Amino acid sequence: SSSGTHNEKRQARMELVTYIKNPDFQEWDGTKTRTQTIGPDGNDPEEGKPGPESTAVQLDQGSVIDDYTQIKPYAGMPKEVLLLHSSKARYRVPREILFWLTVACTLALVAVTATVIALSPRCLSWWQLSPVYQVYPRSFKDSDGDGVGDLKGIQEQLDHFEFLNIKSVWIGPVFRSPMKDFGYDVEDFQDIDPVFGSMQDFEKLLAEMHNLKMIMDFIPNHTSDKHRWFNLSRTRDPHYQDYYIWADCTEAAPRPNNWVSVFGNSSWTYDPVRGQCYLHQFLKEQPDLNLRNPRVRQEMIDILRFWLDKGVDGFRMGGVKYILEAAHLRDEPQVDQKKPPESISSEWDLHHDYTTSQLGLHDLLRDWRAEMDVFSREPGRYRLMVTESYDHQEVEKTMMYYGSSQVKEGDFPFNFHLLDLPQNTSGLWVQHLVHLWMQNMPQGKWPNWVVGNHDNPRISSGAGGLYVPVINMLLLTLPGTATTYYGEEIGMRTLHLTDTGSLDPAGRYNTSASRDPQRSPMQWSSSTNAGFNNKTDLSWLPVHPDYTSVNVEVQKEDEGSVLSQYSFLSALRQSELPLQRGWFCYIQADANVFSYLRELDGLDRAFLVVLNFGRESAVTDLSSVSEIPNQLTVLFSTNHLHHGRVLQKSAIHTDPGEGLVVRFSAPKRFNPTHPSQCYVSEKACYLRVVDILYRC
């Protein structure tokens, strides 16, 4: 109707007038509009009057939409006006261009990110970034004055690890134990022995370690004879009767076969309660578990879960080669066939064909690795698994603990070959020991280096104190993860004890085999008991007499000390990509000197390491190595007076026991033209433009 049309036009007029009042509104010619007023009848009383700036819009009988077509876009416009103009080419085309440009940039960014991820090498894990520091708890720090180190003592010294740039700490056994073998005879795998503190002390230590990672000992081969399982097994409890290795024998003839304990004499002991003999490859107070029993296997997994749930970061699996024995229990072959069988009393008298490295051993280790991998799914919480097995010259057996390309076992087995360093002080000998591991290690695996532990004499006494700094330089510049036994960072020496003073059970069978000398208390200061015990005059073993000069407090103040050198080299390793994950290349070895390069493809700096293990000064000529510049500057020397010394590569002078680290820049790398002399765990290249590593 006409009234309806009139109302619609009136409504449109009011809406249009409302938006014309917007101060941002302008006519097409750019002139300002006047403000309109609406009278009581809905009309503008000024409408139609002439004026110089009159810009009133005359509404006609056409569509309301036609009224909007006369208006230029302005802020606050109604939806209808906005939609009308947004469809015009001048607005639509730029909008579509921006949209598709955004889509293209997003896709390009995703593609670049995916490419970077695909090409990036695997990030190094926490256990690859620094040495693993071994703490022997009884000897590290005593907090309560009883003469035995404890968990609170370790907590008191956490700053020491920070000073050394240590990221991971391996703590020896602290489980509840009768201490026949100082903690390696476990009475309860899920409790802390009171001599070390309480479970609350352990949890507090773990919480206080913050950025440090804790590695615990795991002892799967045996328990204490005081363990609940053994007491139930000897009484033939149906659930536990096969938890251990039992064999028929008599008290008068307690030797089912000729097997011999690591500590000497028979591996069998008669138990009058059960009326059988039980196997023990170590002390008679350490009966071997029957790990062919599925229930025992599950017990071991439950123990791992218990400590992993608490937040432990990894395990050192001790004595793994002993955890299975041949079920047939046959006599092992004698090394000397002419020796009377009844005189066999040492582990060296037999070939251990039936008591070590048995079929099924690696299946067990893979099961444990799989369990730890479940806990490793937590971001940033990879769980380390290290295996210990003294295979001596049977290096191929040791390499099996890495697993295969399809199935993983340990992250690395301990490498004990450098324990033989004292046998021959020469560069050629050191190169031989290093190469023995490198040439046998499976491709892509990560090496490890050990020069001492709680079972072996200290390297400073074997090789001589003069060579401690150069040995530490070797450990901290070789590829892989070094293991540092407490005190090696200050050059602690083996303690001399009288033949009758051995507390170690191994020393009771053979005085020369006592491990007490390498377990003397840590030397913290020149005060009483070397700062090991500040409350009383007690220490479970005597302190080494040289503690007044060989201790942490004194060496911190001396920039040329073993401790200061260790700290510098550890920090250097963490800050330099070539030392962390770069190529390792042999370049020279002779009767005195062992030299090698550490370099990374794409990075213009590299490191030359020159180590004199000989008995005399040497001049090394590297003029044949074209990749090294003629003039070199010493970044670091174990003789701090030689820091910054300028050398010619044709005449690099080193004194006995001196080590040099030279950082240099050169356009060419050594490894492409000498592949047989070089090794890398996982090849990576550096791209300077964007400061990233990529697989190449």
Phi-psi sector, 495: left (phi>0), alpha (psi -120 to 50), beta: beta
CA distance 135 to 485: 7
Asked whether residue 528 is assigned to any structural domain, the reply reads no
* Nearby residues of 23 by Cβ (< 8 Å), 6 or more positions away: none
Give the H or E element holding residue 633.
strand 631-637
* Nearby residues of 423 by Cβ (< 8 Å), 6 or more positions away: 429
Single residue among 119, 140, 160 that ends a domain in this structure: 119
Asked whether residue 171 is assigned to any structural domain, the reply reads no
DSSP string, 489-533: TTT--PPP--TT---SHHHHH-GGG--GGGGPPP---SSGGGGSB
Indicate which CATH number applies to the domain containing 679.
Answer: 2.60.40.1180
pLDDT of residue 233: 98
Give the H or E element holding residue 579.
helix 577-581
| Closest to 427 measured CA to CA, from 607, 652, 680, 656 | 656
What residue has token string 């240590």?
Answer: 166
Asked whether residue 609 is assigned to any structural domain, the reply reads yes
| Closest to 301 measured CA to CA, from 365, 227, 239, 359 | 365
pLDDT of residue 689: 85
Single residue among 119, 140, 159 that ends a domain in this structure: 119
Report whether 600 contacts 683 (CB < 8 A): no
**Cα atoms in the Cβ-side hemisphere of radius 13 Å centred on 445:** 26
Give the H or E element holding residue 664.
strand 659-665
CA distance 58 to 75: 22
CA distance 562 to 550: 9
Tell me 673's DSSP state. Answer: G
Give the H or E element holding residue 162.
helix 158-163
Angle, nearest 10°, between helix axes 199-208 and 294-310? Answer: 50
**Structural domain count, the chain:** 2
CA distance 277 to 132: 40
Length in residues, the chain: 696
pLDDT of residue 500: 61
Asked whether residue 623 is assigned to any structural domain, the reply reads yes
Report whether 86 contacts 79 (CB < 8 A): no
Asked whether residue 561 is assigned to any structural domain, the reply reads no
* Nearby residues of 140 by Cβ (< 8 Å), 6 or more positions away: 149, 153, 154, 157, 486, 522
pLDDT of residue 690: 83
Asked whether residue 637 is assigned to any structural domain, the reply reads yes
Tell me 466's DSSP state. Answer: G
What the block records as the tokens of 405 is 């390309």
The total of other beta-carbon atoms located within 10 Å of residue 43's CB is 12
Query: How are beta strands 213-218 and 168-171 bridged, if at all?
Result: parallel
pLDDT of residue 499: 62
What the block records as the tokens of 73 is 């876009």
Asked whether residue 224 is assigned to any structural domain, the reply reads no
| Closest to 606 measured CA to CA, from 552, 542, 670 | 670
Range of the domain at 639: 584-694
Query: Mean pLDDT of successive 10-residue segments in the chain (696 residues)?
Result: 49 46 44 45 48 42 48 74 78 88 94 82 92 98 98 98 97 98 97 98 96 96 98 98 97 94 95 97 98 98 98 97 97 95 93 96 97 92 96 93 92 97 94 97 96 96 96 98 98 85 84 92 96 96 96 96 97 96 97 97 96 97 96 97 95 97 95 96 89 86
**For residue 398, what are the β-bridge partners?**
none
| Closest to 447 measured CA to CA, from 467, 474, 468 | 474
Asked whether residue 222 is assigned to any structural domain, the reply reads no
Query: How are beta strands 481-485 and 631-637 bridged, if at all?
Result: unpaired
Report whether 286 contacts 244 (CB < 8 A): no
